[in-house]
Amino acid sequence: MSDEFHTRMTLLGRLRNQHDETAWQEFVYFYEKYIKAILKRLGVPSQELEDQSQKVLLALWKKLPDFDYQPQNCKFRTWMSRIIRNKVSHFFEKQQRHKNDIKRAELSQLNKPDSDEVEIYQIYEQEWKIHVADLAWSNLRDEFSSSALKCFEELAKGKKASELAEELSLKVNSVFVNRKRVQEAFHREIRRLNEELS
């Protein structure tokens, strides 16, 4: 048998005594990097690696006094890997439960008898209007020149027609005509989409 085997056997024996701080430090030195590598490969996010590796080490510390090392039946690494896997499973189950709890809380807020149904309806309506307006605007982009679209957009933002006319090399009257054409087409497209999609 090699010295390394004797050292590991001795270390595992010493770890039965949970108060042997030196044995525990040696164990952490030998296995912590491996534990983190396994956690990472199993999909634990980088920001959780340190915390989760500490939880694995704590679980090992608690279980090592009862561990009966029988190399003919099971490698120590196999036993340790089972504990790591169990901790990872628990981590992901907890993450999923947390997500489910948040969803349930959000739904319960929406389903509360004292919640303001009018406010919720308004949110739905506002989002629908934005959605349809975005679709309508996308559909119109190919129908008009960029200068006509700019007339509509910039006047809606409050830009002066005279400034816009100078910028686009148009007459002021043409700026208003372009805006009106795009505006009418935009409203028609919104009506059409509302009829088709509602």
- In 3D space, the residue among 135, 148, 145, 134 whose CA is nearest the CA of residue 183 turns out to be 148
Looking at the fold, whether 74 and 158 belong to one and the same domain comes out as: no
**Secondary structure class of 171 (helix, strand, coil):** coil
DSSP string, 44-102: --GGGHHHHHHHHHHHHHHHGGG----TTT--HHHHHHHHHHHHHHHHHHHHHHHHHHH
53 vs 117 pLDDT, higher one? 53
Distance of CA 57 to the CA centre of its chain: 28
Looking at the fold, whether 15 and 66 belong to one and the same domain comes out as: yes
pLDDT score for 121: 57
Looking at the fold, whether 33 and 67 belong to one and the same domain comes out as: yes
**Secondary structure class of 67 (helix, strand, coil):** coil
Q: Where in the chain does DSSP place strands (E)?
A: none
What rounded mean pLDDT belongs to the chain? 79
Residue ranges making up the domain that contains 72: 3-108
Range among 21-35, 91-105, 122-136, 169-183 with highest mean pLDDT value: 169-183
Looking at the fold, whether 132 and 104 belong to one and the same domain comes out as: no
Residues 69-98 have pLDDT tens digits of: 776 776 777 788 888 888 888 888 887 876
With a cut of 90, say whether residue 55 has pLDDT above it: yes
Spatial distance between the Cα atoms of 118 and 131, rounded to a whole number of angstroms: 20
Task: Please give the tally of structural domains in the chain.
Answer: 2
The pTM for the full model equals 0.46
| Structure tokens, 2 | 């090699």
Domain boundary (87, 108, 129) is at 108
Spatial distance between the Cα atoms of 77 and 84, rounded to a whole number of angstroms: 10
pLDDT score for 192: 85
pLDDT score for 9: 63
Looking at the fold, whether 48 and 87 belong to one and the same domain comes out as: yes
Q: What is the mean pLDDT of residues 20-48?
A: 84
pLDDT score for 6: 43
Looking at the fold, whether 100 and 131 belong to one and the same domain comes out as: no
Residues 132-159 have pLDDT tens digits of: 788 888 888 889 999 999 999 899 999 9
Looking at the fold, whether 94 and 155 belong to one and the same domain comes out as: no
pLDDT score for 130: 79
With a cut of 70, say whether residue 119 has pLDDT above it: no
Domain boundary (108, 124, 157) is at 108
Looking at the fold, whether 100 and 127 belong to one and the same domain comes out as: no
Per the rule left: phi > 0, alpha: psi between -120 and 50, beta: everything else, 43 is: left
Looking at the fold, whether 99 and 175 belong to one and the same domain comes out as: no
Residue 160's pLDDT band (cuts 50, 70, 90): very high
Question: Which DSSP letter does residue 35 get?
Answer: H
pLDDT score for 116: 54
Residue 180's pLDDT band (cuts 50, 70, 90): very high
CATH number at residue 22: 1.10.1740.10
